[in-house]
Structure 1
Amino acid sequence: MKRLKTLIATLALAAASPFASAIELIVPAYFYPSWMPSLNEWHQLSWAAQQGAQVTAIMNPWNGPGTSFNSDYAASINDLRAAGGKVIGYVYTCYGINLCTPEVPPTRSTSEVVADAQKYADWYGVDGVFLDEMATQPGALPFYQTVSNALKAAHPGWEIVGNPGVTPTAGYNALADTLMSFEGSYTDFVNGPFLAGLTNAAGTGAIVHTVMTEAQMHEVMGLAKQHGLGAIYITDGTMASGNPYLHLPSYWQAEVLAATAPVPEASQVAMLGVGLGLLALLRRRRSA
């Protein structure tokens, strides 16, 4: 009986020990922060930060910072940051080799990328930058090295997030704090090769769209935490809609709670498993 009580106490201590930190939610907040509270989804981002979630919102006024300061954005950004969240500015990069989409100018220089980032700093005092349309091949690496060096020199405390959407070749990891190395559907995330090929999970994030149910969201979140991803965003928005990031997902509050739920460290899980096995063994011996 004494050994049993000692074991139970040990298991209780293990269960009470620290847990792994929550996963960061990097949110493509491509919805306008309306001055009407009922229409402003940025308030939901502030709510999430108040719940203890690590929320980083990507602001994108006009496929970039636009041409002038916007007071609606400034008000919502201030609210989110006051709640404990962060805001980073969207800047497109044309994959570093001028492969721009039709709705923007056909070329993009490193100086233009850095200049757009500076506008976010001057107008909104953001916490970092989101480099979209990031390349993955060695030939474009000098473009991103130049951008990264300039951003780090001008804004030493910034969070730099790159969005290649797929796993890039060697060399890109050092250029950003986080690389969103997956941008795709629920089916591709769950069944594709991305998770099996992770080499720098803590510095890697994923943007997963077309996650149509809350149950699927929990499955994606569970896999992200199980594999140690540093960041995630999950939405029921679809590519068929034209842009899956125009609204927060219908299960946003559940996603926030899932992101903040503690995850035990692997060593603690192993200890609890061994302990439970020993408890079962001792009970069988007592009843024999």
Structure 2
Amino acid sequence: MKRLKTLLATLALTAAAPFASAVEIVVPAYFYPSWMPELNEWHQLTWAAQQGANVTAIMNPANGPGLSSNSDYVASINEFRAAGGKVIGYVYTCYGVNHCTPEVPPTRSTSEVLADAEKYASWYHVDGVFLDEMATQPGALPFYQTVSNGLRSAHPGWEIVGNPGVTPTAGYNGLANTLMSFEGSYSDFVGGSFLSGLSTHAASTGAIVHSVATVAQMQEVMGLARQYGLGAIYVTDGTMASGNPYLHLPSYWRAEVAAAAAVPEPASAAMAAGGLLVLLGALRSRRVR
């Protein structure tokens, strides 16, 4: 009986163990860290990290690092990272050629990309970079190979996240830790071909899903992300009609954090399942006697 009591106590502790984030939340944090606490959405990112959520924030002061360090960003980033969050710096790449939007210079060199990354490293001590406007075709591979090699040589521990927005051709997967291979609306995510086309690279694949209007839709997207084994996700009710769906956190941010942490760590789940089997065996043995 003592052994059964001990086993039951162990199972109770396992069942009560904290839940871990099943999916990394990669947040396009394109909002300014206001010096007014009630307006600073970075505090909500810090709250999520304090809950144990696996949150990575993409900082973007000025379509890149800007011209100098910003003290408001420094303060909020330090607070967020102290709580366990990670910060990566936004760097645009013009699809490796000259297809940038009119708001930025029309061309982009590998040296300019790497120089922006170094500014983030020097000014904000970031944990990696977010390579936006990433190409998907074989012709641009040398550009991104040069960038990837340069980043990994200078910062071996950095998290490199690429954002092609669609599934790239073979060769791109090894250039980043994670590729955000979907950026689009809720309807395209749940009704399109992205999920059905996922391959063995799903764990290093992520998605950014906007125009997700309700909590129920958000939970559906998060459930699909887990079902298909995505490694990273961001869901927001921001829309393209606003001009930029990433200017604020979603209205259901706290529910999204809870949804991302709704699956226990595999090790804990396996321990609980194994413990239950042992307990059942012990009970059966006592009944036979």
Counterpart amino acid of 2:106? P
Deviation at 1:16, TM superposition (A): 5.0
Instruction: Please say if residues 21 and 54 of structure 2, whose CA atoms lie closer than 8 Å, have aligned partners that are also in contact.
Output: no
The residue number in structure 2 matching 1:133 is 133
| Cα distance in 2, alignment partners of residues 168 and 256 from structure 1 | 29
Q: Are 1:23 and 2:23 counterparts? A: yes
Please name the residue that 2:181 is paired with: 181
Whether the 8 Å CA contact 1:91–1:113 is kept in 2: the answer is: yes
- Tell whether the 8 Å contact from 2:20 to 2:53 is kept in structure 1 after alignment: no
The verdict on how the C-alpha distance between 1:40 and 1:17 changes in structure 2, with shifts beyond 3 A counting, is: closer
Q: Deviations over 1:141-186 (max 9, x none)?
A: 0000000000000001100000000000000000000000000000
State the alpha-carbon separation in 1 of the partners of residues 43 and 68 from structure 2: 23
Say if 2:210 and 2:235, in contact at 8 Å, map to a contact too.
Answer: yes
Q: What's 2:227 paired with?
A: 226
Give the equivalent residue in structure 2 for 1:204.
205
* Equivalent in the alignment of 1:56: 56
Deviations 1:103-139 (A, max 9, x none): 0011100000000000000000000000000000000
Q: 2:157 & 2:30 partners in 1: Cα distance?
A: 24
Instruction: Compute the RMSD of aligned alpha carbons.
Output: 2.4
CA distance in 2, matches of 1:37, 1:148: 37
Does 1:84 pair with 2:81?
Answer: no
| Distance of 1:42 and 1:231 partners within structure 2 | 19
**Who is 1:285 aligned against?**
none
C-alpha separation in 2, matches of 1:263 and 1:184:
28
> Which residue number in structure 2 is paired with residue 155 of structure 1?
155
- Structure 2 spans left out of the alignment, 5+ residues: 1-7, 281-289
1:21, distance to aligned residue in structure 2 (A): 5.3
Query: Residues 24-61 of structure 1: CA distance to partner in whole angstroms, max 9, x if unpaired?
Result: 00000000000000110000000000011001000000
Q: Secondary structure at the match of 2:196?
A: helix
Q: Tell me if the contact between 1:225 and 1:263 (Cα under 8 Å) persists in the aligned partners.
A: no
Mapped contact 1:163–1:181 kept (Cα < 8 A): yes
The runs of 5 or more residues in structure 1 that have no matched partner are 1-8, 280-288
C-alpha change, 1:149 and 1:181, in structure 2 (3 Å) is same
CA 1:70–1:130 in 2, change beyond 3 Å: closer, same or farther? same
* CA distance, structure 2, for counterparts of residue 153 and residue 98 of structure 1: 26
Q: State the 4+ residue runs in structure 1 displaced beyond 4 angstroms.
A: 15-21
Q: Which amino acid aligns with 2:263?
A: P
Contact 2:21 2:260 in 1 (8 A): no
1:171 equivalent in structure 2: 171
1:264-283 correspondence runs (5 A): none
**Is the Cα–Cα contact under 8 Å of residues 20 and 265 in structure 2 kept in the other structure?**
yes
Native 8 Å contact 2:207 2:234 kept in 1: yes
Partners of 1:87 and 1:264 in 2: CA distance: 23
CA distance in 2, matches of 1:124, 1:28: 17
- How high is the TM-score relative to the length of structure 1? 0.86
Q: CA deviation at 1:261?
A: 1.3
Q: Distance in 1 between matches of 2:38 and 2:76?
A: 13
Partner of 1:35: 35
Q: Are 1:236 and 1:250, in contact at CA under 8 Å, matched by a contact in 2?
A: yes
Alpha-carbon distance in structure 1 between the residues aligned to 2:174 and 2:105: 28
Distance 2:114 2:231 in 1: 25
Deviation at 1:263, TM superposition (A): 4.9
The aligned amino acid for 2:85 is G
Structure-1 residue corresponding to 2:4: none
Task: State how far apart, in whole Å, the 1-side matches of 2:245 and 2:233 are.
Answer: 15
